[in-house]
Amino acid sequence: MTVRSGSRMDEGAYVLITGASSGIGAELALLYAARGRPLVLWGRNAERLENVAVRARSLGVTVHTRILDLSDGAAAIEALRQDDDSHPIDIAILAAGLGDMRRGSDVVERAEDVLHLGLVNYATPSAMAAAAAERMATRGRGHIVLISSVAAFHALPFAAAYSGSKAGLKRFAEAQQMALAPLGIGVTLVSPGFVDTPMSRRVVGAKPFLQTAPAAARRIARAVDRNRPHLVFPFVFSVLRLVDTLMPWPFKRRILSAIKADQMD
């Protein structure tokens, strides 16, 4: 772990952001730095994470960084507790995640890929949210943000591991919201559509209603400010979600089975 200090708000009100080395996580780091919030940033790529940290420090805030692979859930729990001991976390934004799908040349998804996505997209962020809640409960305040996906609303045969892991995270967030509300802790579930990030750029084909990462970060921060329980964007996906709930399963199955998708390695 590396530590460097800025000039203001060095103590308290820390914002933890995982997946901060690129995409939505990086944009959230810069947004909260511009607000004067000290940061704890996690990522897998040391060079990219340090680049984000340098930009945040230039805005005058303290930034602490940690390199960690979230496939090791036990290490992530311990790291969160260590960071909270030194820098009490007021907002925990668990933005790290993986996107993957069955390639067009594959007959089925690889078992190892299914396990990896389950750990990084569901098991570890859920466990980290629980660890953050333990600490926040003693302080009587705090906010947890879990990043799911609109893919959680649909059974995607070409991305069973991805949609399944995000659906699990969605259900966990909904349950945690109810459990933590009496303790003064907010939980915001975020379900974005396509966002222009390195992960989405691997997808081959159309990306309808594509959002920029800075725009996504602004939406998420506003949702936290307003203590919104669930943010879905763009709005059209809220409409599609309603249609999905009303459509009979045989029709849904036929439509979903006809969708073709692929990604670059």
SS3 49: helix
Residue 192 phi/psi, 5° resolution? -85, 155
Catalytic, 14? Answer: no
Query: Which of 134, 161, 162 has the alpha carbon at shortest distance from 148?
Result: 162
Q: CA dihedral defined by 77, 50, 22, 143, rounded to 10 degrees?
A: 40
Burial (CB < 10 A; 0-12, 13-18, 19+), residue 13, is: middle
**Token duo for residue 64:** 């602490």
pLDDT at residue 3 is higher than 60: no
The string of pLDDT tens digits covering residues 11-40 is 458 999 999 999 999 999 999 999 999 999
Supply the DSSP symbol for 157. T
- Cα–Cα distance between 202 and 144 in angstroms, integer? 28
CA 153 to chain centre: 16
Place of tokens 């909270």: 84
Name 232's bridge partners: 191
Mean pLDDT of the chain: 85
* pTM metric for this prediction: 0.84
pLDDT at residue 8 is higher than 50: no
H/E stretch holding 100: none
pLDDT of amino acid 127: 98
pLDDT at residue 167 is higher than 70: yes
SS3 88: coil
Query: Which of 141, 144, 121 has the alpha carbon at shortest distance from 131?
Result: 144
Supply the DSSP symbol for 61. B
Residues of 20-53 as b/e, b for ≥16 C-beta within 10 angstroms?
A: bbbbbbbbbbbbbbeeebbbbbbbbeeeebbebb
- Cα–Cα distance between 94 and 111 in angstroms, integer? 25
With a CB cutoff of 8 Å and minimum separation 6, the contacts of 172 are: 122, 126, 129, 146
SS3 93: strand
Would you say 6 and 61 are in contact if contact means Cβ atoms under 8 Å apart?
A: yes
- Cα–Cα distance between 160 and 109 in angstroms, integer? 8
* Over residues 124-144, mean pLDDT: 97
pLDDT of amino acid 2: 41
- Cα–Cα distance between 180 and 38 in angstroms, integer? 24
pLDDT of amino acid 251: 54
Would you say 52 and 65 are in contact if contact means Cβ atoms under 8 Å apart?
A: no
With a CB cutoff of 8 Å and minimum separation 6, the contacts of 201 are: none
